[in-house]
Every structure is written in C-alpha cells, then in structure tokens.
Amino acid sequence: MNSLVLSPFFIVCIVCGIIFTLGGWLFQNFPPKKINNWYGYRTPASQKNQERCDFAQEYSSKEMIRMGAIFILVSFIGFFLPGSLTEAFAAIVILLVLTTTLIYRVEIAIKEKFN
C-alpha cells in the first residue's frame, strides 16, 4: 500500500494560511473595543488613539485574510516538491516575508490616513 506523504512545505504553508485566515476573520468579526495590550493589531502607530486603533484593526484583519489566502494557494506547490527539510525552511521564509508585508502594508495605510 502506497501512503501519501505530505511535503513539509505544504504542511507549514497550509497551517499558516489557515491560522492567518481564521485570525483575520476573528479580528474582523470581534475587534477589540478599546486599545489594549493583548488582543488585535498592536503597534505604536496603531495605539496612538482610538481612531487609529479602529482603523488598524479593520485594515489588518482584511490583510490577514488576504495573506492567509496567498499562503493557502502557495501551499499547493508542496504537492510537486519531493519533501525535504529545506522546504520547511523555505516555507518559514515565506511566512516571514508575508508577515513583514502585512505589517508594512498596515503601517503605510495608517500613515497615509492619519498624516
């Protein structure tokens, strides 16, 4: 019997995609009601006042869902890879790039709206 072995690339990307998508959905549907230190999008720029915080929560949740969808789409590349540990590291690099892109895009949007 031949068993299906999933690529580490696929596993890391699909799990991250699901987490990003669910996290974005959670923040979109249950945003923090006020500035806090434990829940939602929290950077110095987003915590300067409540208006910025509300904007950052809404914008970042949409970006998280978008990045999650990209992760899920990219994960299917893993079906065509042989399944090595190097692939897991490649997926982690993609995670860092997409996370950095998410933060960068939200911070730019905050700056454009409030400056």
Confidence of residue 4 (pLDDT cuts 50, 70, 90): low
pLDDT of residue 115: 82
Length of the chain: 115
Q: What is the mean pLDDT of residues 32-58?
A: 94
Residue 46: in which H helix or E strand, if any?
none
Lowest mean pLDDT among 16-25, 80-89, 90-99: 80-89
pLDDT of residue 109: 97
pLDDT of residue 2: 41
